[in-house]
Amino acid sequence: MIVMMMLVFVSTVDAAAASNVPSQVHLALTRNSREMIVSFHTEGYDKDVLGKAQVMYSTNENFQDYQVAHLGSVSTTYGESAKTGYEHHVLLVDLEYSTKYYYKCGFTKSTDIQSEVYYFHTRTDPKQSESKQVSVLMYGDQGTTNSAYVIARSKHFVNSFYDKSDSKHKNMFVYHLGDIGYANDFAGAQYQFIWTKYMKMLSDFMPYAPYMVCVGNHEKGPKNHPYDEFEIPFKAYNSRFYMPGRNESAIGHNMWHVFEYGPITFVAVDTETNFPGAHFGKYDDHFHGEQLKWLDETLSQVDRKKTPWLVVVGHRPIYSSTKEFSNEHGDPIGDSKVLQDAFEEVMYKYKTDIFMVGHVHSYERTYPVYKTKVETKSNYHNLRSPIHIVNGGGGNIEGQTKAESFHNHDWSADIFYKDEGYGILHTNYDEKTKVYSLKFNYHESKTGSVINGDKILVLDEQLIGPLGLVAPLALLKELGVKKLFKLNDRTFDTNFANIVYIVRPKMHLMKWVANQVSYWVKQKEDLDRMMSEKLKEKKNTKNKKQQPEETNEETYTPPTNFHLYLLPKTSLICVDILKDLGVYPHLRISEYPLDLIVFDNYLMSLELPSSFKECELDGDFSSLYYVARSIMKLQSYFGLIPNVKFIGSGATHVSEMIMRMRKEVGSQAFASVPEINTLILIDRNVDLITPMLNQFTYEGMIDELLGGITNTLFTTQRVPEAATIAKKIALNSSDNVFNRLRHLNHNRAGIAINEMAIEFKSREDKAREIKTSDSKVSIEKIKEVTKMLPQIQEDKKYLELHTKMMLEIRSIIGKVPFRRLIQTQKNVLDGEDEKEIIEYIEETIDKQLPLTNVLRVICLYSLINGGIKNKVFEKLRREIIQSYGLQALPTLNNLEKIGMLRKQDSKSVSNWNLLKKTFNLVDEAAMERTNEEDGQYDPHLVYNVYCPITVALVEHAMTEEKGWRRVEPVLSKLAPGLYGELSQTGSQDTQLGKKVVLVYFIGGVTFAEISAITYLNERSNDCEYIIATTKLTNGSTFLENLVEEIPEDRQSFKKKASSDSYALFYEEPPKEGADASSSSGTAKNGQQDV
């Protein structure tokens, strides 16, 4: 009997002790970077017996030297304690940065009752650059069901930071975006049971990383209220967690809060209560403070120099493509409309970067959007409008949102609903550029792979070059691109789930896309059918108690996610083609408006190859909108440009558009002090003569004679000796040798190469002499020389490369075909030897040289003379059709439509002599002055003796006396009624120093014209010129775009018309006395062997 009583007594004491053991331990941040809140739960709590809640913590795992925190500790319950238990919160202060702390929870009066030992790592000192590198795992809407994978991934995320022993920082935490545990889906006593179960499910990572929360609708309370303790809504949420602001008298709860972490200010809002129209109304008696007033004051106080990123979190969305929260037009409805009215304006006002929520059980990201209007779909720099992210796939009893629940809205950038998932927000900071970056990835829960992460990129051939400048291969790899394909009409197999197309809106390209997508869709359907049949077979086999045969076949899974980006805009015709071919429902279609690409520190291009053709032939002026938009973007960065000059139809349209756009956005969108003084808009149709001539600058001759320069990249296949040094080289200012040669006339460039050879040899000898000298040389001098040697070696390598390229150029220009071409062009400019000009044209037609080469001379002749005599015109037309077939006829018609080819008639007038005289376009003596100091920068040198009309216009525009008014009679003939000057009122004086002049070529610019503009920089004391264009071009590529595409048996007519357009300059005449037929050679199949 006594033994039994003792046993009963001991078991009762053990039960009481067990009920007081801390569990459900978790951490939280405060607004002080050297503090941490430690929270824990006990089933029972007697303050008189146990004392205050406390935390013992130490930097030593064995607690040989520890501290105790209990001051300010809070212990609460939120109902009948037998059912709810107690929540305890302890504040740790004065923590050291970048330090690992071990801790255990307990009470001041009982050392026997303690939790197990946990640990956490403090953040990096804000003064150190590593503090700007932060990772935050974020999700919403997570309960005890369907959440195991996301919880496991959360544990892996936290552990991955502690596993990185070499990492300098552990700047990470977890953020739960409302709907925590889903206890309120259960009635009565089960409510507390689910809370406990859920918190224990997170026990593998909650004690080791801060676990921040915001309120959702499922935190309100249980569905049924059999107990009085649940009458106060959101009481469990406000008791269990301790967010920043709870200890402030003005707030005193967890419904909204703010804190800073690294370069981000996080602001949590309450989307459930306490604003007009809130779903659950107002609870002023419990949740102190006016939320919207607090939000405005809080956002206004964010120091964007200290924390450049501003992230607002909540639970319910403003923008969601689900039919519950948006209509078919993309307008928010229901609760989303109420939230939009309450929160959108204030977030836009303070330039919130991201508004992240849950509630919808899927992932969705918008473009930067305000009042349903998309700000941009590509360049996310210095945004005004927030990006909205729905991140509610944490996993719960209600399951994921179904596919049929979604609309397709223009502001929606990405959606994933097929499985649970979570997001990770990353920040980074580049010490060299002083640039902050913010990246968000959404991960599928089962594999942890980034949604739309690993992908195949399929590119339109014409876009490969421009996109390569914007997104180099290393960046594409970082963004998950595993392979690159050039789009064609063939299909291919791949195991990657995501296919991303970036193409122009062309009909034949849409057919190629549809062909590939339909191929993969059919593969998926066949695979699903086969798997279904296998399952049936397996079930039947099991019923017959037979073991199925095992196979080692690898499972092939075709792509399932298809994204189509049309550059620069969507076309309704293309959409109709995709619908007709049955693939439209499988594609997410977006626009990718490529902005100005920086080719060099004075050169930018939109790289719109079809701009001139679209405006002049197709009546499609959309490219002019992109020109105007690019100017507006430059003005947003560099201020309102005070002076605008324009000439040509396209330039006139653009000037009108930028004035209209400026009125729409208002003056507040521009910087106060403009850095660009003058904008000169020049339409290519004002000067069609210049691109028809051959360029004579070093860079221009590489482009014309050696195979062409594609987006600064040059392939050395036409210079075999140079190819031994490098197969491809980037021709830009990073190459010191090229930078000194590029703008020089070929004669001066040859001299400059010799001068550099002597200079580099002298530098190398001097450096080696210092390095090997026996005399005393300072260590600093030796270090300086050692640093110089690699640059000297690189310069020598490039000098050798450019020497070989220059020799190849000299070889070409010394040959008969090139000399005859240049002499013909000179005759055309001088108006001499018309008979010889026509004979030369007929000879090139008879030889069937590339059509673009032939047309350059014919167009030049027509433009200079105001047309071609009727009989000659008809004769040349017949000969072209006989040599190149009827396929050439549409191209000739195109050239007639835009005035590059025309018959002379009684109304035909040539402006050439007036232009030549007024602007001094031809100067025969220019070449004699190349070695003179002043003569080196004569614009006539870029075409040997000819100064481009466009360059003359620019120079006259910036003359102090009258500008263009001085040559107005000429302009009235060059572009009747399509020129003028505007002032943008409201802009202040530009910065001191040289006037910055932006020259914008609409329709394309040649390298020689660019060189001539740089000459103006050298000649001017008060102007500095920079250049923008729609396309970098030359005569052949310019005409290529006007050749009408007509498919032939073996290759398109367009390719045939422009194929090997450089071959003309490699042709040698037969040797004297040799048989003409044998000089060309014959292939075994009887065809001429070129």
Q: Pairing relation of β-strands 713-715 and 728-730?
A: antiparallel
Dist CA 20 CA 955 (whole Å) = 87
In this prediction, residue 669 carries a pLDDT of 63
Dist CA 130 CA 135 (whole Å) = 12
Angle (deg, nearest 10), helices 816-830 and 779-813:
80
Domain boundaries, the chain: 123-444, 455-530+556-591, 597-687+937-1033, 698-814, 817-908+1040-1068
Dist CA 909 CA 860 (whole Å) = 15
Dist CA 172 CA 315 (whole Å) = 21
Choose among 713, 743, 747, 744: nearest CA to 728.
Answer: 713
What are the φ/ψ torsions at residue 51 (nearest 5 degrees)? 80, -160
Dist CA 935 CA 933 (whole Å) = 5
Neighbours of 209 (CB within 10 A): 24
Helices (H) and strands (E) in the chain, counts: 33, 40
817-908+1040-1068: CATH topology is: 1.25.40
Dist CA 1047 CA 1026 (whole Å) = 41
Computed from CA positions of residues 1008, 1009, 1015, 1019, in that sequence, does the dihedral angle turn out positive or negative? positive
Query: Considering the chain, what percentage of its residues have pLDDT values greater than 90?
Result: 54
Same fold, 123-444 and 455-530+556-591: no
**pLDDT lower than 50: segments of the chain:** 1-13, 166, 227-229, 547-554, 1050, 1061, 1066-1090
CB contact burial 114-142 (16+ within 10 A = b; e otherwise): bbebbbbbbbbeeeeebbbbbbbbbbbbb
Sheet holding 74-76, edge to edge: 23-28, 36-42, 86-92, 74-76
pTM, full prediction: 0.64
In CATH terms, the superfamily for domain 455-530+556-591 is Sec1/Munc18 (SM) protein, domain 1 (3.40.50.2060)
| Cβ–Cβ < 8 Å for 145, 395 | yes
Dist CA 637 CA 689 (whole Å) = 35
Beta bridge partners of 390: 357, 364
In this prediction, residue 1067 carries a pLDDT of 47
Beta bridge partners of 562: 499, 587
Distances (CA, A) of 458 to 223, 521, 556, 581: 51, 17, 20, 19
DSSP state of 42: E
Class assignment of domain 123-444? Answer: alpha beta
CB contact burial 430-453 (16+ within 10 A = b; e otherwise): eeeeeebebebbbbbbeebbbbbb
What are the φ/ψ torsions at residue 548 (nearest 5 degrees)? -70, 150
| Cβ–Cβ < 8 Å for 209, 203 | no
| Cβ–Cβ < 8 Å for 499, 562 | yes
Dist CA 407 CA 387 (whole Å) = 18
DSSP state of 860: H
CATH architecture for segment(s) 597-687+937-1033: 3-Layer(aba) Sandwich (3.40)
- Angle (CA) 947-952-957 rounded to 5° is 165
Dist CA 621 CA 625 (whole Å) = 7
Q: Letter for the amino acid at 370?
A: Y
**Two structure tokens written together for 847:** 């030889």
In this prediction, residue 557 carries a pLDDT of 75
Class assignment of domain 698-814? Answer: alpha beta
| Cβ–Cβ < 8 Å for 574, 510 | yes
Dist CA 1029 CA 1004 (whole Å) = 6
Helix (H) or strand (E) holding 355: strand 354-357
**Two structure tokens written together for 1044:** 């009408």
Local structure of 388: helix, strand or coil = strand
What are the φ/ψ torsions at residue 121 (nearest 5 degrees)? -120, 130
Dist CA 90 CA 55 (whole Å) = 7
